[in-house]
Chains A and B, each alone.
Chain A
Amino acid sequence: DIQLTQSPSSLSASVGDRVTVTCRAGQSISRYLNWYQQKPGKAPKLVIYTASSLQSGVPSRFSGSGSGTDFTLTINTLQPEDFGTYYCQQSYTARLSFGGGTKVEIK
């Protein structure tokens, strides 16, 4: 199975900050990498798919980049509603896997 390692595991940032989360895959996964936002008690919500495509309805302050083994999720101009835990997930193989998560807190 493909391992995904996210960093940091948590961060605290202020409204208006730029936030970056990274995800490293244990092998090349081309661009088959999705990013989710999850809030307590809710199902994950897709934010970015295939590394850099913005899911419909998601604010343009979210962006993704990367290919191969190294990927980045960026939130420009952090907003209060952006708190939650962010997960990366690979779909290079049908046997999916998720990163360990990054908890984003608002200062």
Chain B
Amino acid sequence: EVQLGQSGTEVKKPGATVKLSCKVSGYTFTDSYIHWVRQAPGKGLEWMGLVEPEDGKVTYAQNFEGRFTITADMSTDTAYMELSSLRSDDTAIYFCATIHDSHNYWGQGTLVTVSS
């Protein structure tokens, strides 16, 4: 069974850094890209970027270049998303997902709350 297991809820102050994880099981980690998607409260889905686990190559959406760093660790089949200089408008649920035709699996999401 394919599973993407994400790390737990985070509460951070403005200006802090947080690192989210997404552990993959049930398929070969290097076979599919891992995407990160953000959903702010009451809003739609926003694609942030992807990592190609085989070589670590990363592509970011234009709105997410700079403060966001996506990585992958083949030794632990885990992808990471680090968010720095957090702002209140970074408050959202962050999903990881593998999306390729019917091979379409999502993590349960990590809620990040940024508040002073």
Contact = CB atoms under 8 A, between A and B. Distances in A.
Contacts of B35: 96
B61 A49 contact: no
A98 B46 contact: yes
A97 B44 CA distance: 11
- Chain A contact-residue range equals 20 to 34
- Chain B contact-residue range equals 20 to 34
B95 interface: yes
B59 interface: yes
Interface string B27-70: 00000010101000000111100100000000101100000000
28 contacts: A1-B61, A34-B104, A36-B45, A43-B95, A43-B106, A43-B107, A43-B108, A49-B104, A50-B101, A53-B102, A55-B102, A85-B44, A89-B45, A89-B99, A91-B100, A94-B33, A95-B47, A95-B59, A95-B61, A96-B47, A96-B99, A98-B37, A98-B45, A98-B46, A98-B47, A99-B44, A100-B44, A101-B44
